[in-house]
């Protein structure tokens, strides 16, 4: 089973891009606070994840979300290869969003 579930805040406004073949895509950066405190200051650490959204999910996210909004995503990992001269230079996991839930707006917009 290949499933990732994350809940966090958008780091920036999502932007929609249209590829040459007409497919729509958006990339979001999600700040996810860890569930425990650590370090000398006893503060929560935050992880940042780059997530890719396609088609209708990408369009809806661009229409309804802005920087600071809290979202939940259900996604899968996909191995992405970076090629140079037809050889794999490095590879990394890419987070492909399959479902997104718009949880709430940032605090300043709720007032």
Domain locations along the chain: 4-106
User: Which CATH number applies to 4-106: 3.30.2130.10, 3.40.50.150, 2.60.40.10, 2.40.50.140?
Assistant: 2.40.50.140
| Mean pLDDT value across the chain | 90
With a CB cutoff of 8 Å and minimum separation 6, the contacts of 63 are none
Cβ neighbour number for residue 25 with a 10 Å cutoff: 15
pLDDT for 28-78, tens place per residue?
999 999 887 777 777 888 999 999 999 999 999 999 999 999 999 999 999
pLDDT at residue 82 in the model: 85
The alpha carbon of 54 is separated from its chain's Cα centroid by a whole number of angstroms, namely 12
pLDDT at residue 109 in the model: 58
Q: Does the pLDDT at position 107 exceed 80? A: no
pLDDT at residue 108 in the model: 56
């Amino acid at each position: 089973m290949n499933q990732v579930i994350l809940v966090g805040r958008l780091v920036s406004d999502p932007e929609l891009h249209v590829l040459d073949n007409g497919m729509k895509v958006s990339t979001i950066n999600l700040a996810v606070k860890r569930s425990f405190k650590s370090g000398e200051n006893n503060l929560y650490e935050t992880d940042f994840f780059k997530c890719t959204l396609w088609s209708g999910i990408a369009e809806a996210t661009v229409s309804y979300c802005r920087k600071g909004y809290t979202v939940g995503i259900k996604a899968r990992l996909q191995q992405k290869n970076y090629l140079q001269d037809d050889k794999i230079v490095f590879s990394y996991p890419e987070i492909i969003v399959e479902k997104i839930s718009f949880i709430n707006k940032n605090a300043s917009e709720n007032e």
